[in-house]
Structure 1
Amino acid sequence: MNSKFLGTGVALVTPFKKDLSVDYDALKNIVNFNIENGTDYLVISGTTAESVTITKQEKKAITAAIIEVNGGRVPLVLGIGGSNTSAVIEEIRATDLSNIDAILSVSPYYTKPTQEGIYQHFKAISGACPIDIILYNVPGRTSKNVEPETTIRLAKDFKNIVGVKEAGNNISNYLQLLKNKPEDFLVISGDDDLALGVVLAGGAGVISVIGQAFPRAFSDMIRLGLKGDAKAAYKLHFKLMDVIDYIFEENNPAGIKAVFQALKLCDDTVRLPLVPASDGLQKKINQFVADFN
């Protein structure tokens, strides 16, 4: 099993200043905060990074900044995906992947392809990608579930497809994947609320949103889960349950940025069409952060 992606990965936010420019100082602080507190790997330009409102030039600069501050300390995963297969392949070929350990590639959205279309999409990407690929299934955003059978077929057919970030909030999907996957294939939770249960059932870990705000507690929870220490792991899970609900109450990443604002790690600014967390939600988050120990 690829140990690079065992444990807790976090889907980093892109901090913005009030003028909507990228706040690179805050980004570097968040990266250091995570590495120093036990996060196992970092995911760049995922959904939580507001990747759909980031320009190509910004994505390149953000990636370079994270590579620099990371300094080779933890593995890095870069989001490269989309609904236009040829454009995804073009981006892979145009990107310097020498400091990147894998790409995270979301299944096609909006176009609603069949399972065969999804398979052919990732087959083409596999043939073009010189590094490992983690599939990303998030049907709540793509409107199309990648069925477990399709994921398993891809896992068996292509050696560089090493795992899936499964974010369908569907226990049945997880269990089918864990039951039928090749031995070395990684089933990674993309659902913070289900992550511990998935790990205890045989999952490889999580790519988390809330983990980047509470990296010590969250990564300890996942490590305990990987060791099979359910009782100790659930103590940490119960401490984090409320804030996991809070950050997804309105939208992601407005919720996690509200947490970071309470922690004084970055501003809560998001780019339209997202808007910051409401005053009521920010108040609940502020109280949680003040009480957390």
Structure 2
Amino acid sequence: MNKFHGTGVALVTPFNTDGTVDYQGLKALINHLVDGGIDYLVSLGTTGETATLSKDEKKKVWEFTAEINNGRLPLVAGIGGNDSQVIGDAIKSFENNQYSAILSVSPYYSKPTQEGIYQHYKYLSELSELPILLYNVPGRTGSNMSSETTCRLAHDFKNIIGTKEASGSFEQFNQIMRDKPADFLLISGDDPIALPMISIGAVGVISVVGNALPRMLSDMIRLCLKGDFAAALPAHLSLLEITRLMFSEGNPAGVKATLKQLGVCDDVVRLPLVKASTGLNKSLAAQFERHLY
């Protein structure tokens, strides 16, 4: 699945000031990312504020994203949650043939055991016609999918093709690299550690910061994948403070603030999230001026 090597971007969902989905903003964002050289798009991951979208809104966003993308880049649909039956039904009924895979987050809030996580993904894999990318993000879900569970799933189900890993544990990354099938994809789920993860065998990143800085990030990731880490290091270091700021008041408030500054889309978020503060906006603008222009 080489189409998932490189830089994927977890798209924000732009909103109008009245809270409705801003499709013109979404169009501008998709074109901004395609023009910026990224490798694939992830529609309605957690960065897309998926938990606040209705079933009909999700369907329309997936359809619109496919229409505007128009076959230019591979597409991944984010379909996850903590009710296995509901997620299974959503995966089974997903019919958009322009998507190449599903990204499904480990069940959140419920804190299932490792066996529960395994059985959840077993259930989904048996229903899905598309390949599945696991997504482990303990900071959001409240539980960690262990390297043993990840590799057990990877070996047992051919259509579970990779994992977006955002545990922050290099012990876990190392164990996955050691024990996974050869063709199973380890993908960084954290922008700041994409470079060191690629150094041990990850195939790229699914990024938040890439919404705003697609060219800088995708160029850096390509250098890493070529093994030229020395050339990639300046961009990696330049992105550290910008990334910290973007996440300092929650995701995607920070990256949406930057997208508004760039003129791509507005910075509206849905409650319980709130817009980035005036102070954060100023800090982000200063970082852009200092490092990028």
TM-score range for the pair, normalised by the shorter chain length: over 0.9
Which 5+ residue runs of structure 2 have no aligned equivalent? none
Deviation digits for residues 134-179 of structure 1 (CA, Å, limit 9, x no counterpart):
0000100111100000000000000000000001122221121112
Q: After the TM superposition, which residues 15-54 of structure 1 pair with which residues of structure 2 at under 5 Å, given as runs?
A: 15-54=14-53
The residue type equivalent to 2:188 in the other structure is S
What is residue 239 of structure 1 aligned with on the other side? 238
User: Do the aligned residues in 2 keep the contact of 1:262 with 1:286 (CA within 8 Å)?
Assistant: yes
What is residue 254 of structure 2 aligned with on the other side? 255
The residue type equivalent to 1:140 in the other structure is G
The residue type equivalent to 1:241 in the other structure is L
User: Do the aligned residues in 2 keep the contact of 1:263 with 1:289 (CA within 8 Å)?
Assistant: no
The residue type equivalent to 2:136 in the other structure is N
CA distance, structure 2, for counterparts of residue 95 and residue 241 of structure 1 = 37
Q: After the TM superposition, which residues 1-293 of structure 1 pair with which residues of structure 2 at under 5 Å, given as runs?
A: 2-291=1-290, 292-293=292-293
Counting matched residue pairs gives: 292
* Secondary structure of residue in 2 paired with 1:155: helix
* Segments of 4+ moved more than 2 angstroms: none
* Secondary structure of residue in 2 paired with 1:175: helix
* Secondary structure of residue in 2 paired with 1:182: coil
CA distance, structure 1, for counterparts of residue 289 and residue 196 of structure 2 = 27
Q: CA deviation at 1:289?
A: 2.3
CA distance, structure 1, for counterparts of residue 76 and residue 241 of structure 2 = 28
User: Do the aligned residues in 2 keep the contact of 1:222 with 1:233 (CA within 8 Å)?
Assistant: yes
CA distance, structure 2, for counterparts of residue 233 and residue 145 of structure 1 = 30
User: Do the aligned residues in 1 keep the contact of 2:211 with 2:259 (CA within 8 Å)?
Assistant: no
The residue type equivalent to 1:196 in the other structure is L
Deviation digits for residues 90-148 of structure 1 (CA, Å, limit 9, x no counterpart):
11122213111000001111111100010000001000000100000010011110000
- TM-score, structure 1 length as denominator? 0.98
CA distance, structure 1, for counterparts of residue 185 and residue 125 of structure 2 = 16
Deviation digits for residues 210-243 of structure 1 (CA, Å, limit 9, x no counterpart):
0121111100111100110010011111121111
CA distance, structure 2, for counterparts of residue 252 and residue 211 of structure 1 = 13
User: Do the aligned residues in 2 keep the contact of 1:209 with 1:256 (CA within 8 Å)?
Assistant: yes
User: Do the aligned residues in 1 keep the contact of 2:32 with 2:264 (CA within 8 Å)?
Assistant: no
Deviation digits for residues 165-217 of structure 1 (CA, Å, limit 9, x no counterpart):
00112222112111221100000000111011101211010000001211111
CA distance, structure 2, for counterparts of residue 75 and residue 6 of structure 1 = 11
CA distance, structure 1, for counterparts of residue 218 and residue 206 of structure 2 = 11
CA distance, structure 2, for counterparts of residue 156 and residue 222 of structure 1 = 27
- TM-score, structure 2 length as denominator? 0.98
CA distance, structure 2, for counterparts of residue 278 and residue 171 of structure 1 = 33
Which 5+ residue runs of structure 1 have no aligned equivalent? none
User: Do the aligned residues in 2 keep the contact of 1:44 with 1:79 (CA within 8 Å)?
Assistant: yes
* Secondary structure of residue in 2 paired with 1:194: helix
CA distance, structure 2, for counterparts of residue 130 and residue 228 of structure 1 = 34
CA distance, structure 2, for counterparts of residue 227 and residue 166 of structure 1 = 21
Deviation digits for residues 28-64 of structure 1 (CA, Å, limit 9, x no counterpart):
1110111111100000000100000011111111111
CA distance, structure 1, for counterparts of residue 37 and residue 251 of structure 2 = 23
CA distance, structure 1, for counterparts of residue 289 and residue 16 of structure 2 = 24
The residue type equivalent to 1:264 in the other structure is G
CA distance, structure 2, for counterparts of residue 145 and residue 97 of structure 1 = 31
CA distance, structure 1, for counterparts of residue 40 and residue 272 of structure 2 = 29
The residue type equivalent to 1:187 in the other structure is L
Identity %: 52
Q: CA deviation at 1:290?
A: 3.0
CA distance, structure 2, for counterparts of residue 290 and residue 26 of structure 1 = 24
What RMSD in Å do the two structures reach over aligned CA positions? 0.9
The residue type equivalent to 1:47 in the other structure is T
